[in-house]
Structure 1
Amino acid sequence: MPEFIARHRVVEIGLDRIIDTVNNEIDEFGVSTIEMFYVHKTEEMCCILEAPSQEAIKNHYTNAGLVCGYIAPIERIDTKIGEKSERLRAIGELAARLAHDLRNPLSVIKNTVEIMESKQVLHIEEKIIYYGRLRRAIDRISHQIEDVLDFVRPTQMKFQKYLLNDIINSALEKIVRPDDVEVILPTTFVYCICDQTKIEIVLANLIMNSIQAMSGTGTIKIVLSDTPNDVVIQVSDTGCGIPENILPKIFEPLFTTKQTGTGLGLASCKKIIEQHGGLISATSRENQGTTFTIILPKQFVSKKIEKLVASN
């Protein structure tokens, strides 16, 4: 039977009589009092009860000559506490990961600046080396922060018609690609109504994941398809693949198998694609590779555009 907590005002002088009245095993309304607490300062009685419904509890107290000021299911209270604890846990875990991931590039920046300050004259070759270290460390910090912001901040989507091939090329320009990684670009040209910046973020994330999965050597193939109802993007690699027991979890926030990273990259991708009314999924075979598939429905975006035009 469901459990409830109830609270009401009780004058202490009549406390014993009320306890005898309400503390029955099971009354005619199906209410059983499990525990009772009296707070002298506020003259309030709190009871934990088993009852078929809140209405039964109200009838129970009315029969005892009491007016109940508060009734709530214990399950609801526990759920709210659990949700708050879960949010706090997630925030704490994310903060710990960020602190860990940012410590290394910050150390690189600090050490490099100290070396540069200790030298009275820097030759051009040294400048190239030191500035390269600084740039890579800064890029790494920026990437970590952008991962978090892309996931948590609410942003207004800006839908326009774009050539997806251009978005793919733009994403590739922002990625450091090893010489031994071959990228096979789409042979078809496909237009899509989307938020260019957001889709570029998704593609950059998927391509970087593929590069890491292949340990710097292998092939990435990007395929575009244009159907009457959808635009489909597929990003495949020849990497190590994702174990079957891990595959269902990869889009969960904070889930990661890497030593570094916030675990928000793929979760952010999923959020962006869902904002486009689409779906993102992954198929994988260990030691053979992984394919990510994005489906963007044309009808969803068209309705968004119609609403925007109508509002203007």
Structure 2
Amino acid sequence: MLLAAYWMIRMAFGRAGFVTFRAAVIIGSVSAAIALIALWSTTSRQRMQLAEEDVAGLGHVDDYALQLTRRLVTTLSESPPPESRSDLLKAYAASDVAAAEYPASLNSWDVRGKPIAEFEVAPTTPDSAAVINAVLESIATKQPVTKSVLGVTGVQILAAVSHPTGGATSVLVLPRTRLVTANPYAALLGMAPPSGGDPPYAVALTDLSPTVRADTTRVRWHRIGNELHGDRLISTSAGTVRAHVEIDLRSLWARGERGVIVLLFDLLLAGLLWLLGALTEKGFIRWLRVRVAKWIYTYHARLTLALFAFFVIPAIAFAVWSYQRLRGDDLQTREALVHETLRAVAAGNEYTQLSGAARRFETPLFLYSNGLLDRTSDSVLDGLAPTGRALPPAVELRLGTAGELSAAWESTLGDSKLLFGYSAVLGPAQERYILAAPARSDDLVLDRRRRDLGMLVLFATAAGALAALWLSGIAAKRLARDLELSRIEVARAERVLAWGEMARQVAHEIKNPLTPIRLGVQHLRRARSDPRQNFDAVLNENVRRILAEIDRLDEIARSFSRYGSAPADLPPAVDVDVAAVVKDVVGLEQMGDRKVKWQLRGADRPAWALARKDEMRDVLLNVFENARLAGARQVEVTLRDEDRRVIIETRDDGSGISPAVLPRIFEPHFSTRTTGSGLGLAVTRRLIEAWGGQIAITSEEGKGTRVLILLARSEP
């Protein structure tokens, strides 16, 4: 929203609609900070509101729950009387009360008001007298009874319905409140397990305290450290009590971790929005491609990415390992708790009284014999067999075949998974059993520990990655600067050495023509004083020789001038018809040496490229002359267009270049011949590269050489 507002403001004032990346980052940071403050404030208010509604619901009848209870009573009156816990479970599971996730307790009674079966969705402590009176009233009047009663959790809905065949069924519906603990083993009964995550608040009933201000109209809040505490008086079957609410706001460090992650996510979202907006700008993709291509090949970029990857890859590996370790520790902790329970049950040798042991340890129990389910602690579980009648194969192999004493297995029950612990035990007659129990699915302490550690690892990884990127950028910039300074010093030293070598080579090259000139002048002096010699003939011969050496000096000077010129000092490239230049130079070569057979292809139509005409002639003459001097008898020159480039390919069948010499052919003053300055190919490459082109030479000794000249194509 802020990015859109900023863009609209720029457009309204006639500014360019493009939002810079720096502006996007600043706007993203500001919006993230505002979002964090709003999120924390809104979340706290909503949690307080939920807690107030929860406590308020304890003091009055829930009209929606009352309506659903009447529907359930109507359904029960039209159905056969439930005679077992399984029948009661079926009646509850098929009702709207279960769909609305209202906790309830269902009981089946005989005609004398004696209980037959009981099923509780969650642990409750009903008012037995009120329930019995409602059942007797319904049996006596043959009419359903529905009313509100006070229970230990405040106002509850009590209903009883008699059956034509005798007996009655009672339903006690409790309010949806965190006072009622969810059944951690609900998945075994085919119901939804308790939802994961931290509860938004916690509610408890306690005695009145003169030091705590509370009334019956609203919740009074006060803050203690990182917690919000609220109190309100409610009426229960035990009298007026105080409902105490606690909201854990988490520590500043925990909120900071989550805030940083939200900030990073918001910045990422702002970056994506900026990128989407920038993509609509004309030429942005080309600009981005050029900038990325230019940056990615720099030493600074490669060093930054290397240092960043050096941290991020181990950090990601550590995060994955930490997550797996946290999950493994969580499973091991649950396994340990289950196995402790199984050992305690086995120590009591209560295999015939599993129901009593299950009530004492508050966990369902399963007993297997010969790999099959023998009995459970609950008749409902006997009929349902939620994990199947047979032991899981992996557990059977471990306990039966491998001889282990304990095992664990995660079973899939509907959409949820439940961890089971298994223990091999001996019965009273030394018969071999396998005792099993599920792990609780509502262990908030373990769940919070795992989430907090996971959040810490995520925060450390994200913060460390950003720090690594920032520090690697700084380190890369400093290292790149130092390296650049070193490169400058090395280049300066190499330049000094190169100019020294250049001066030595210039002196050597100039000295060679000066010797014939000196000898010619001395010859002229002697011939002038010697009447026996024809002075005019001697003069003409020496003048011709001196002029030839002067031309040689001029060629040497021009070669050194070209090679020593900086690329910026060279004339800029212009549009040149390369086909015409190639055709002209090949024609000259054909007239010069009849022993070499020249073939030209692709020059029948113009081929425009960026070059300099005269210098292009010199480049081609140098390449062709090298082929002729290599003893070639056939030279093929091909001109073609390819991928916005003009390519000149020269192939000859000369002596070729040895692999040891090939890497040095472009070095100045390097030559395999005794004549020449050794600058031909060095000058050729410098000229071609100054035009934005390239030259490449491949050769095989004894078979010939291939020269490729690539020039940027132009439009005349």
> Shared topology, TM-score over 0.5?
yes
In the TM superposition, what whole-angstrom CA distance separates every residue of 1:181-219 from its partner, at most 9, and x where no partner exists? 4251524334324310121121122122223322xx734
Alignment of 1:166-181 (within 5 A): 166=581, 169=584, 179=593, 181=595
Of 217, 222, 232, the match for 2:647: 232
**Distance (whole Å) between structure 1 residues aligned to residue 585 and residue 526 of structure 2:** 39
User: Alignment partner of 1:293: what SS?
Assistant: strand
Task: Give the alignment partner of residue 133 of structure 1, picking from 545, 551, 555.
Answer: 545
1:165 and 1:142 mapped to 2: Cα distance? 28
2:615 pairs, out of 187, 190, 198, with 198
Structure 1: state its 5+ residue gaps: 1-51, 57-71, 306-312
1:89 CA displacement: 1.0
Q: Partner of 1:133: helix, strand, or coil?
A: helix
- Which deviates further from its counterpart, 83-92 or 241-250? 241-250
Match of 1:280 among 678, 695, 698: 695
In the aligned structure 2, how far is the partner of 1:226 from the partner of 1:131?
A: 49
Whole-angstrom CA distance in 2 between matches of 1:229 and 1:109: 51
Q: 1:140 to 1:210 in 2, by over 3 A?
A: farther
- Residues in 2 aligned to 1:118 and 1:168: alpha-carbon distance in whole angstroms: 50
Q: What is the count of residue pairs matched by the alignment?
A: 230
Q: What is the match of residue 517 of structure 2?
A: 109
Find the residue that maps to 1:294 and give its secondary structure.
strand
Q: Which amino acid aligns with 1:92?
A: G
Alpha-carbon spacing, 1:109–1:81, altered in 2? closer, same or farther (3 Å): same
Deviations 1:246-266 (A, max 9, x none): 223322344444445444321
d(CA) in 2 for partners of 1:135, 1:181: 29
1:97 aligns with 2:517: no
- Alignment counterpart, residue 85 of structure 1, candidates 472, 480, 493: 493
Q: How do 1:143-222 and structure 2 match up within 5 A?
A: 143-153=555-565, 154-162=569-577, 164-166=579-581, 169=584, 179=593, 181-182=595-596, 184-187=598-601, 188-191=603-606, 192-193=608-609, 194-214=611-631, 218-222=633-637
CA contact (8 A) 2:570 2:690 kept: no
Higher-RCO chain (CA-CA 8 Å, sequence separation at least 6): 1
Inter-CA distance 190–95: structure 2 relative to 1 (3 Å threshold): farther
Which amino acid in structure 1 is aligned with residue 701 of structure 2? E
Taking the aligned partners of 2:487 and 2:642, their CA distance within structure 1 comes to: 44
Structure 1 vs Structure 2: percent identity of aligned residues? 27
2:710 is the counterpart of 1:295: yes
One-letter amino acid matched to 1:197: D
- Which residue in the other structure is 1:266 paired with? 681
Inter-partner Cα distance in structure 1 for 2:709 and 2:557: 25
Distance 1:205 1:247, change over 3 A: same
Deviation at residue 91 of structure 1 after TM alignment = 1.0
Identify which range, 181-190 or 138-147, moves more after superposition.
181-190
Deviation at 1:170, TM superposition (A): 5.0
Gaps of 5+ in 2: 1-470, 529-533
Task: Write out per-residue CA displacement over residues 140-192 of structure 1, whole angstroms, 9 at most, x where no aligned residue.
Answer: 2222222211122222225134353445535875x8x9746425152433432
Distance 2:544 2:509 in 1: 19
> Structure 1: which amino acid aligns with 2:616?
I
Deviation of 1:73 after TM superposition, in Å, equals 8.2
Q: 1:136 to 1:245 in 2, by over 3 A?
A: same
Give the corresponding residue for 1:42: none
Partner SS state of residue 251, structure 1: coil
Between the aligned partners of 1:155 and 1:184, the Cα distance in structure 2 is: 32
* 1:83/1:163 CA distance change after superposition, 3 Å: closer
| Structure 1: distance between partners of 2:690 and 2:547 | 33
Instruction: Report the TM-score, using the length of structure 2 for normalisation.
Output: 0.29
Quote the Cα distance in structure 2 between the aligned partners of 1:218 and 1:132.
32
- TM-score w.r.t. the length of structure 1 is 0.61
Query: Do the aligned partners of residues 297 and 261 (structure 1) sit closer, same or farther apart at CA in structure 2, a change above 3 Å counting?
Result: same
1:24-103 maps to which residues of 2 (within 5 A)? 78-103=486-511
Whole-angstrom CA distance in 1 between matches of 2:481 and 2:711? 42
The one-letter code matched in structure 1 to 2:552 is: R
